[in-house]
Structure 1
Amino acid sequence: MKRTLLALFLLGLASGSGAPSEVPKAPTAPRLILLGTAGGPIARLERSQPANAIVVDGRIYLIDAGDGLLRQMAAKRLDLGKVQALFLTHHHIDHIADLPVLMIDRWLLSAAPPLPVHGPPGAARLVSGTLGAFRPVELAPVTIGGPRKPPLRRAARGHDLPARLDEPRLVYQDGSVRVLAIGVDHYHYPPGSPEARFSRSYAYRVEAGGKAYVFSGDTGPSERLERLAQGADYLVCEVIDLARVERALRAFPGFAPEQIQPLLRHMVEDHLTGDQIGRIAARAGVRKVILSHLSPGGDGETDLGDYARGIADHFGGEVVIGRDLDEF
């Protein structure tokens, strides 16, 4: 009897408030990972299409989902089940190509709740339509034990941002991050045209661990981007080398000569050169510029310093020409 009472007493000490509690882990610094740094809907060997990750205490937040995203996540050992949210900058295919496999593999390989997908008008339709199109995957399952999977249509939920967003707006918040968005200038379709309905591009600001990370998305010169980036620690910014783009377009067999000039006009109006980036970064007071979405960003490029030409004329901070899997 005495032994029993002693055992119960010791057990009470071990489980009660008098027992030493496990020391909580100190929060780790956020990680910024460039998962894809090439712009445009072309498959490359050396760079994947646009995608970025912010990782906070193991929780993953993705900005864009270009082709190659899942392969790059595997290279960085990022668990699909830990992805908390995805933020799409716009609906061009090089920014959304891996959205289907991200949603479906996450549903298939983890027990994570539905993935929030935030993006321009049409994001909710894109998500629901994609999951609906992949219904045959659900109808031809691999038989495994355990509880049944929820319906595939619940794998993700799309959220449309306001069509007009002229000031930074909080669009997502949890215990690890705050995410703000603003509209930027990547399209010039006439108001009221069918194209203008869904043609919106957004920049995002992710605040975590006392740091601010701004992602330009695709844009031409934009005062709204400057407002969003005020005082940011990192500006992950698209960049274009117009001379290289023109050479690449003229050498590409898929374009007729009459198609090239309108494309070049789009590149001039709706993307950023180094000179323009330097002005934006200086006026916004950012600490570091990371160049991504390199256009043309082709395989075998040398003299990458050309992409940064003109930035230092205006901006005195650090400039990094990003490569896939770079981490900050």
Structure 2
Amino acid sequence: MQLTFLGTSAGRPTRTRNVTSIALSLPEPQCGFWLFDVGEGTQHRMLGSRFKLNKLERIFVTHLHGDHIYGLPGLLSSRGYFEGAGPLTIYGPSGLRRYLAGIFELTGVHLGYELNVVEIAEGEVVADDRYVVEAAELQHRLPCFGYRITERPQPGPLNLKRLGELGVPAGPLYGKLKRGEDITLECGRSIAASDVAGTPQPGRVVTILGDTRPCDNAVRLAMNADLLVHEATFAGGLEEKAAAYGHSTFTQAAEIARDAGAKRLVVTHFSSRYDDEAVAELANGVKDIFAEIEPAVEMTDILIPRPPLTNS
């Protein structure tokens, strides 16, 4: 599992930064990716990268400000040209369906694949056998959501030596045991998955917040997260200006991470007044509040490692 920032600028693009979009790459067996926001130019950022639109599985929109969604119609249209592009679900605030329907009607777009638009409320928005995604409303000038992605615990490694002693043939039965299913051999012998698998591995938690002032829901969504992505539009000391625009400072982002007990903080959504050197200095300047802070760098992967395995 890893994050790639396809845009880190607030409000408008700059010569070195695109507007907001984040890709979350999923591990096996999916090997696909999700997008969080699709600012203008997002699909251009993908050109020449490993990201192929037929591997895009879900899109999560935080809010309807243009720097977070103006790239969405073009990306959805282009996806139809990729062979094997299957159904796609987009999650976001009320009004998202109307926004897309209006553009598609006026421009005569035919996607060629099934598109589902889910206008969300607070609470659980996705739950499958690998992940749970929760949303909560933040404090911005438009309705805006943050997302908490929780990976379900994964089965531990199989004890291959024990499987050999029990006479379990390699193949589909290994897969069943790996998924936690008990099996019965042809001889009638029953084997419990718990007897041949290691300790289940805890899942990872990633929190990706939209634009926001500091608020209780930001802390709740980020509680004990392995990685928190929080906006840092302004430098510390500009809290009054940040509040007026519904944003946060580097100082406030560090305080949210600290209060939530997050393990790691990546800040993004930087005002165009700050160049890369200034952004690095601003992040270093709040390490006394939260040491594990780093600024997002576009097209750089941020790995989210699994916790160490503990074998039974």
* 1:171 to partner: Cα distance: 0.4
What is the alpha-carbon root mean square deviation over aligned residues?
2.5
Query: What's the TM-score, normalizing by structure 1?
Result: 0.69
For residues 154-181 of structure 1, give each alpha carbon's deviation from its aligned partner in whole angstroms, at most 9, with x where no partner exists.
652211112xx3xxx2101334432111
Aligned to 2:143: 200
| 1:162-213 CA-partner distances (Å, limit 9, x unpaired) | 2xx3xxx2101334432111100012xxxxxxxxxxx300001122372111
Structure 1 contact 239–307 (Cα < 8 Å) conserved: no
2:127: which partner in 1?
Answer: 173
Q: Which residues in structure 2 correspond to 1:57-206 (within 5 Å)?
A: 57=28, 58-135=31-108, 137-138=109-110, 152=111, 155-162=114-121, 165=122, 169-187=123-141, 199-206=142-149
2:6 aligned with 1:52: no
CA distance in structure 2 between the partners assigned to 1:275 and 1:43 by the alignment: 23
Per-residue CA shift, 1:121-149, capped at 9, x if unaligned? 111212222222331x54xxxxxxxxxxx
Aligned residues: 249
Equivalent pairs: percent with the same residue?
28
Gaps of 5+ in 1: 1-29, 139-151, 188-198, 246-263
CA contact (8 A) 1:241 1:296 kept: no
Q: Do the aligned residues in 1 keep the contact of 2:223 with 2:260 (CA within 8 Å)?
A: yes
2:228 maps to 235
Question: For 1:65 and 1:220, how far apart are their aligned partners in 2?
Answer: 21
Higher helix share: 1
Partners of 1:174 and 1:72 in 2: CA distance: 29
Give SS of 1:182's match.
Answer: strand
Give how far 1:76 is off.
Answer: 2.5
1:243: how far off? 8.5
Q: CA-to-partner distance for each residue in 1:203-253, whole Å, 9 max, x for gaps? A: 0112237211111110001111100110001111110225899xxxxxxxx
Note the alpha carbon deviations across 1:18-52, whole angstroms, 9 max, x for none: xxxxxxxxxxxx12111111111x23221111111
| Aligned residue type for 1:69 | T
User: Partner residue of 1:196?
Assistant: none
TM-score (norm 2): 0.73
Contact 1:234 1:287 in 2 (8 A): yes
Q: CA 1:154 to 1:271, structure 2 compared with 1: closer, same or farther past 3 Å?
A: same
Which of structure 1's runs of 4+ aligned residues deviate more than 6 A?
none
Q: Give the SS at the match of 2:102.
A: helix
Structure 2 CA distance for aligned equivalents of residues 175 and 266 of structure 1:
39
- Distance in 2, matches of 1:277 and 1:179, equals 22
Q: Quick check: which has more Rg, 1 or 2? A: 1
AA partner of residue 229 (structure 2): V
The unaligned stretches of length 5 or more in structure 2 are 153-202, 303-312
AA aligned to 2:233 is: I
Instruction: Please give the per-residue CA displacement for 1:99-127, whole angstroms capped at 9, x wherever unaligned.
Output: 01111111232332332111011112122
Partner of 2:299: 325
Q: Does 1:217 align with 2:210?
A: yes
Q: Does 1:281 find its partner at 2:281?
A: no
Is residue 127–residue 158 contact of structure 1 (8 Å, CA) maintained in 2?
A: no
Q: Kindly tell me: are residues 38 and 126 of structure 1, through their superposed partners in 2, closer, same or farther at Cα, counting changes over 3 Å?
A: same
- Amino acid in the other structure paired with 2:17: R
